[in-house]
Amino acid sequence: DVKVTQSSRYLVKRTGEKVFLECVQDMDHENMFWYRQDPGLGLRLIYFSYDVKMKEKGDIPEGYSVSREKKERFSLILESASTNQTSMYLCASSFSGANTGELFFGEGSRLTVL
């Protein structure tokens, strides 16, 4: 079974703190994704990585950065957390290429910024 593991299910941080969200997958997938999910807004793509050290901005990259130093690990970084970044963050992975459309998701990390 494909497993995508996110390091924290729940986090509470203060405004201005630096926040790291970690994601690890064990299926040797080339692609990894970070989405945020808010009620009524669906899943919005923050960043996408299609290979080690390769990244592409999604629809809402402002206030976020990412790191992919190893194939299995994709980190989302909030340099200075703000209250409007309170959300559910979902990591996903997939094989490279456009011919399956299948992502495997982690359980999510619910971040609250006070």
Partner 1 sequence: GQSLEQPSEVTAVEGAIVQINCTYQTSGFYGLSWYQQHDGGAPTFLSYNGLDGLEETGRFSSFLSRSDSYGYLLLQELQMKDSASYFCAATSSNTGKLIFGQGTTLQVKP
Question: How would you class 87 by CB atoms within 10 Å of its CB: exposed for 0-12, middle for 13-18, buried for 19 or more?
Answer: buried
Q: Give CA–CA dist 84/37, Å, rounded.
A: 12
* Residue 15 interacts with partner 1 (CB under 8 A): yes or no: no
Least distance CB 10 / partner 1 (angstroms) = 12
* Closer residue to partner 1, CB minimum distance, 17 or 44: 44
* Residue 19 interacts with partner 1 (CB under 8 A): yes or no: no
* Residue 23 interacts with partner 1 (CB under 8 A): yes or no: no
Of 25, 31, 85, 87, the one binding partner 1 (CB under 8 A) is: 31
Which residues, numbered 56-95, are part of the site for partner 1 (CB under 8 A)? Answer: 56, 59, 90, 94-95
Largest CA distance in the chain: 42
Instruction: Mark out the alpha helices in the chain (DSSP H runs).
Output: none
For residue 84, the SS3 value is helix
Of 5, 8, 13, 44, the one binding partner 1 (CB under 8 A) is: 44
DSSP 85-110: G-EEEEEEEE-SSSSS---EE---EE
Q: How many other CB atoms are found less than 10 A from the CB of residue 17?
A: 15
Judged by CB under 8 A, the stretch of 10-18, 20-28, 60-68, 104-112 that binds partner 1 is 104-112
Q: Which residues here bind partner 1, judged by CB under 8 A?
A: 31, 33, 35, 40-45, 48, 50, 56, 59, 90, 94-108
